[in-house]
Amino acid sequence: MKKEFSSDINEIIYKETSSNGLTMYFLPKNSYFKTQVGLGVKLGSFNECGYAIPNGTAHFLEHQSFHNSKENMFETFSDEGASVNAYTNFTSTVFTLEVSKNVENNINRLIDMVMTPYFNTNMINQERKIINSELELYSDNIDWKARFRILKNMYKIIPIKEEIGGNKNSLDMINDNTLMNVHRDFYRTDNMVLFVAGPISPRKLSEDILKNMKKKYNLERNNLHDKGCYKEPKGVNKYLDSLTSKKASQSLYVGLKYTEELKKLYGCLKSQIMLEILFETIFKSGDSFKDCTASIQIDHNIEKGFGYSILKFEVGNNNTTNMINETKKILQNFDIDQSNYNIFKTKKKKVLGEYISSLNSLEYTMNRFINNHFKEEYYFSIPKKIKSIQKKDVLNFWNVLKNNYDVTFLIVSK
Higher pLDDT, 288 or 86: 86
**pLDDT over 70 at 175, yes or no:** yes
**pLDDT over 60 at 88, yes or no:** yes
Q: d(Cα 158, Cα 375) in Å, to the nearest integer?
A: 18
Strands 23-28 and 192-198: parallel
Q: d(Cα 363, Cα 118) in Å, to the nearest integer?
A: 28
Q: d(Cα 229, Cα 392) in Å, to the nearest integer?
A: 34
Residue 69 has a pLDDT of 61
Residue 82 has a pLDDT of 92
Residue 245 has a pLDDT of 83
Measured at the CA of 114, the angle between CA 189 and CA 22, to 5 degrees, comes to 15
Measured at the CA of 318, the angle between CA 312 and CA 320, to 5 degrees, comes to 60
Task: For the sheet with 93-99, list strands across it.
Answer: 2-6, 11-17, 23-28, 192-198, 35-41, 93-99, 83-88
Residue 221 has a pLDDT of 46
Q: Mean pLDDT, to the nearest integer, of 270-276?
A: 94
Residue 217 half-sphere exposure, CB side, CA atoms within 13 Å?
26
Residue 289 has a pLDDT of 58
Confidence of residue 232 (pLDDT cuts 50, 70, 90): confident
Higher pLDDT, 253 or 284: 253
Residue 229 has a pLDDT of 55
Lowest mean pLDDT across 249-253, 260-264, 314-318, 373-377: 314-318
Please return the burial class of 163, using the count of CB atoms within 10 Å of its CB with bins 0-12, 13-18 and 19+.
Answer: buried
Which tens digits make up the pLDDT trace of 1-29?
A: 999 999 989 999 999 988 878 899 999 99
Residue 93 has a pLDDT of 97
Q: d(Cα 380, Cα 372) in Å, to the nearest integer?
A: 10
Contacts of residue 359, defined as CB under 8 A and 6 or more positions apart, other chains included, come to 9, 11, 365
Q: d(Cα 22, Cα 18) in Å, to the nearest integer?
A: 5
CA distances from 60 to 89, 227, 261 (A): 12, 21, 33
Which tens digits make up the pLDDT trace of 280-317?
A: 888 876 555 554 556 789 999 999 889 999 999 888 77
Which tens digits make up the pLDDT trace of 53-63?
A: 899 999 999 99
Residue 85 has a pLDDT of 95
**pLDDT over 90 at 360, yes or no:** yes
Which tens digits make up the pLDDT trace of 384-393?
A: 999 999 989 9
Which tens digits make up the pLDDT trace of 177-224?
A: 999 989 988 998 889 999 999 999 999 999 999 888 876 665 454 454
Q: Mean pLDDT, to the nearest integer, of 361-365?
A: 97
Q: Please choose, from the candidates 177, 226, 223, the residue with its C-alpha nearest in 3D space to the C-alpha of residue 50.
A: 226
Q: d(Cα 59, Cα 267) in Å, to the nearest integer?
A: 28
